Amino acid sequence: MVTREALHQAAAMLRRSRRPLLISHPRPDGDTVGSTLALRLALIALGKEPIVACVHPIPESFRFLPGAESYRREVDESDGFDLVVAIDMSDLRRTGGLYRESWRGRYPLLVIDHHETNLNFGDLNLVAPHAAATALVMEPLITAMGVTVRDAIATCLLTATLTDTRGLRTHSTTLEVMEAVCRFVERGGDYHTAVWEALDAKPMRQMKAWGVALDRLRAEDGLVWTTYPVAEKERLGISDEEDLDLGGLISQVREARIAVSFNEMRDGTVKLSLRSRPPYNVATVAAALGGGGHRQAAGCSVEGPLEAAVARVLPLLRRLLDEGATEAV
Ligand SMILES: [Mn+2]
């Protein structure tokens, strides 16, 4: 839970800073980008000089967001920041190596997140495990900073909320989430652009990739999976950091109670994207495999090759289905 007191402490921390470094997680999604850019704009409104960073490039879907072009791929001490803010990530490894261990104790670390698996790794942690998006923690924080959420800031938070709820479809979508979306639109958030750019528009090569993934789709007793080999990526010119949203795609299979995509990376590891229908909790499986996430959507990386990863992970998911429990594995 994020208390009023924590919000005010975080707002004070940000107000004291002159040059905060805001970090979005690798393979950035709409929530990490939208929440980071909203905070950037709020800080600029207060006369600060924030730096925004992410190890991977910002996907085309979020490049319409104000400030998306200001992202940097690398940072070091010479950039003169005095505070580090980790946004939408459950542990420090999720900065993708941007955060250096030597920074610990030298710069205060503020964590703003909504993952149940969050390790509370900051000096101050604003973590709301039941919030549908980090954006919904960011909104009251920006308000506590004394900045009005409207226009460009509202568009950033709106996009973050719409993407993390897959267009208000997830089970985390409550009446409060819908009210927040209405509030963002009321205050000038650009709804139609957000829906088209961030949710609907897909590059041609992603559509082609979906064709491959759907062709390789397998199903067995409520468990649905697909594999995506590096050779297929090479053929379509797809990079490793590109998020093909295979998990989201195959979770739409009616028969799927649990869905998992196995995306082979060029370094030999396999990136898993796990999805489930309630009551199955895939966050526990992802966490057991060294990843994290939410009950209905989680992810992790395992050792390759592809076939070995499939052979290792499917039994865990079958067990979760058999037990039918929310806290299995
Ligand atoms: Mn998120």
In angstroms, the CA 190 to CA 188 distance is 6
**Cα 160 to averaged position of ligand 1 atoms, centre (Å):** 8
**Cα 60 to averaged position of ligand 1 atoms, centre (Å):** 18
pLDDT band, very low/low/confident/very high, at 324 (cuts 50, 70, 90): confident
**Cα 231 to averaged position of ligand 1 atoms, centre (Å):** 30
pLDDT band, very low/low/confident/very high, at 328 (cuts 50, 70, 90): very low
Q: In what order do the strands lie in the sheet with 297-303?
A: 218-220, 223-228, 258-264, 269-276, 297-303, 292-293
**Cα 4 to averaged position of ligand 1 atoms, centre (Å):** 21
In angstroms, the CA 31 to CA 299 distance is 15
pLDDT tens for residues 281-309? Answer: 999 999 999 998 889 999 999 999 999 99
- Residue 235, C-beta contacts closer than 8 angstroms, at least 6 positions apart: none
Where residue 48 falls (left for φ over 0; alpha for ψ -120 to 50; beta otherwise) is beta
Please determine, for residue 275, whether its predicted confidence score (pLDDT) is greater than 70. Answer: yes
Give the pLDDT of residue 326. 46
pLDDT band, very low/low/confident/very high, at 116 (cuts 50, 70, 90): confident
**Cα 23 to averaged position of ligand 1 atoms, centre (Å):** 13
- Residue whose C-alpha is closest to residue 133's, from 83, 194, 222, 84: 194
* Angle, helices 175-186/135-144, rounded to nearest 10 degrees: 50
Please determine, for residue 329, whether its predicted confidence score (pLDDT) is greater than 80. Answer: no
Mean pLDDT across the chain, nearest whole number? 95
Q: What is the pTM of this model?
A: 0.88
In angstroms, the CA 97 to CA 85 distance is 14
**Cα 266 to averaged position of ligand 1 atoms, centre (Å):** 26
**Cα 95 to averaged position of ligand 1 atoms, centre (Å):** 14
Structure tokens belonging to residue 307: 């076939």
pLDDT tens for residues 36-51? Answer: 999 999 999 999 999 9
* Residue 139 C-alpha from the chain's centroid: 17
- Residue whose C-alpha is closest to residue 316's, from 249, 200, 194, 225: 225
**Cα 29 to averaged position of ligand 1 atoms, centre (Å):** 8
Q: Which of 95-104, 154-163, 222-231, 236-245 has the lowest mean pLDDT?
A: 236-245
**Cα 35 to averaged position of ligand 1 atoms, centre (Å):** 9
Please determine, for residue 90, whether its predicted confidence score (pLDDT) is greater than 50. Answer: yes
Give the pLDDT of residue 256. 96
Give the pLDDT of residue 52. 98
- Residue 215, C-beta contacts closer than 8 angstroms, at least 6 positions apart: none
**Cα 235 to averaged position of ligand 1 atoms, centre (Å):** 31
**Cα 28 to averaged position of ligand 1 atoms, centre (Å):** 10
The full 3-state SS of 264-302, as one line of letters, equals ECCCCEEEEEEEECCCCCHHHHHHHCCCEECCCEEEEEE
pLDDT tens for residues 199-232? Answer: 999 999 999 999 999 999 999 999 999 999 999 9
Q: For the chain, list the domains and their CATH numbers.
A: 4-200 (3.90.1640.10), 204-323 (3.10.310.30)
